[in-house]
Protein backbone atom coordinates (compact mmCIF):
# COMPACT_ATOMS: atom_id res chain seq x y z
CA UNK A 1 0.00 0.00 0.00
CA UNK A 2 1.06 3.55 -0.65
CA UNK A 3 -0.24 6.95 0.44
CA UNK A 4 0.04 10.36 -1.09
CA UNK A 5 -0.56 13.37 1.17
CA UNK A 6 -1.28 16.96 0.26
CA UNK A 7 -0.94 19.56 3.03
CA UNK A 8 -2.34 23.00 2.32
CA UNK A 9 -3.21 26.23 4.04
CA UNK A 10 -6.81 27.26 3.43
CA UNK A 11 -8.11 30.73 2.78
CA UNK A 12 -10.17 32.16 5.65
CA UNK A 13 -13.69 30.79 5.90
CA UNK A 14 -13.11 27.73 3.68
CA UNK A 15 -13.18 25.13 6.48
CA UNK A 16 -16.73 24.01 5.59
CA UNK A 17 -16.73 24.48 1.81
CA UNK A 18 -13.42 22.70 1.14
CA UNK A 19 -14.45 19.29 2.58
CA UNK A 20 -17.76 19.53 0.74
CA UNK A 21 -15.99 20.20 -2.57
CA UNK A 22 -13.57 17.33 -2.00
CA UNK A 23 -16.44 14.92 -1.36
CA UNK A 24 -18.56 16.08 -4.27
CA UNK A 25 -15.95 16.71 -6.96
CA UNK A 26 -12.51 15.31 -6.11
CA UNK A 27 -13.46 11.91 -4.67
CA UNK A 28 -15.35 10.83 -7.82
CA UNK A 29 -12.20 11.58 -9.86
CA UNK A 30 -10.08 9.54 -7.43
CA UNK A 31 -12.54 6.63 -7.53
CA UNK A 32 -12.06 6.29 -11.29
CA UNK A 33 -8.30 5.78 -10.89
CA UNK A 34 -6.67 2.36 -11.05
CA UNK A 35 -5.45 1.23 -7.64
CA UNK A 36 -7.28 3.88 -5.59
CA UNK A 37 -8.45 2.45 -2.26
CA UNK A 38 -9.52 5.26 0.06
CA UNK A 39 -9.14 8.90 1.00
CA UNK A 40 -8.97 10.85 4.23
CA UNK A 41 -9.37 14.57 4.72
CA UNK A 42 -8.00 16.03 7.93
CA UNK A 43 -8.98 19.57 8.84
CA UNK A 44 -7.34 21.59 11.62
CA UNK A 45 -9.67 22.67 14.42
CA UNK A 46 -9.41 26.30 13.32
CA UNK A 47 -10.17 25.40 9.69
CA UNK A 48 -6.96 26.98 8.42
CA UNK A 49 -5.14 23.85 7.29
CA UNK A 50 -6.10 20.63 5.54
CA UNK A 51 -4.30 17.37 4.89
CA UNK A 52 -5.68 15.20 2.09
CA UNK A 53 -4.51 11.59 2.06
CA UNK A 54 -5.16 9.10 -0.71
CA UNK A 55 -4.46 5.39 -0.28
CA UNK A 56 -3.27 3.39 -3.28
CA UNK A 57 -2.57 -0.26 -4.04
CA UNK A 58 0.94 0.61 -5.19
CA UNK A 59 3.38 3.44 -5.74
CA UNK A 60 2.94 2.93 -9.47
CA UNK A 61 -0.83 3.50 -9.21
CA UNK A 62 -0.28 6.70 -7.19
CA UNK A 63 2.28 7.94 -9.70
CA UNK A 64 0.00 7.17 -12.64
CA UNK A 65 -2.73 9.26 -10.98
CA UNK A 66 -0.25 12.05 -10.29
CA UNK A 67 0.68 12.27 -13.97
CA UNK A 68 -2.81 11.80 -15.38
CA UNK A 69 -5.57 13.28 -13.19
CA UNK A 70 -4.01 15.23 -10.32
CA UNK A 71 -4.00 18.47 -12.35
CA UNK A 72 -7.79 18.29 -12.50
CA UNK A 73 -8.03 18.02 -8.70
CA UNK A 74 -5.40 20.74 -8.25
CA UNK A 75 -7.61 23.12 -10.27
CA UNK A 76 -10.55 22.28 -7.98
CA UNK A 77 -8.46 23.05 -4.88
CA UNK A 78 -6.94 26.34 -6.10
CA UNK A 79 -9.84 28.63 -5.07
CA UNK A 80 -9.54 27.34 -1.48
CA UNK A 81 -5.74 27.48 -1.12
CA UNK A 82 -3.88 30.23 0.73
CA UNK A 83 -0.57 29.03 -0.75
CA UNK A 84 1.02 26.20 -2.69
CA UNK A 85 0.36 22.66 -1.47
CA UNK A 86 3.07 20.41 -0.04
CA UNK A 87 2.96 16.89 -1.41
CA UNK A 88 4.54 13.89 0.32
CA UNK A 89 4.51 10.18 -0.44
CA UNK A 90 4.76 7.26 2.00
CA UNK A 91 4.68 3.49 2.02
CA UNK A 92 2.01 2.22 4.39
CA UNK A 93 4.18 0.26 6.82
CA UNK A 94 1.32 -0.70 9.11
CA UNK A 95 -2.42 -0.16 9.35
CA UNK A 96 -5.26 -1.94 11.11
CA UNK A 97 -7.25 -1.57 7.87
CA UNK A 98 -4.62 -1.65 5.13
CA UNK A 99 -1.97 -4.12 6.25
CA UNK A 100 0.68 -4.96 3.63
CA UNK A 101 0.92 -8.65 2.79
CA UNK A 102 2.50 -10.61 5.60
CA UNK A 103 2.30 -7.74 8.15
CA UNK A 104 -0.10 -7.97 11.08
**Contact (Cβ atoms closer than 8 angstroms) between residue 49 and residue 8:** yes
pLDDT attached to residue 88:
96
pLDDT tens-place values along the chain, 104 residues long: 999 999 999 999 988 899 999 999 999 999 999 999 999 999 999 999 999 999 999 999 999 999 999 999 999 999 999 999 999 999 988 888 876 554 55
Q: Which CATH number applies to 2-91? A: 3.30.70.100
Environment class of 18 (CB within 10 Å of its CB; exposed 0-12, middle 13-18, buried 19+):
buried
What does pTM read for this prediction?
Answer: 0.87
Residue in 30, 22, 24, 38 with CA at minimum distance from that of residue 79: 22
Measure the CA–CA gap between 19 and 90, rounded to whole angstroms.
23
pLDDT attached to residue 101:
55
pLDDT attached to residue 97:
83
Amino acid sequence: MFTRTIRLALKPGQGDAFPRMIGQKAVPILQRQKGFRDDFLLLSEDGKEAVCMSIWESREDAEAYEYSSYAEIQKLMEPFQAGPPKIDRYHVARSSVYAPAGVK
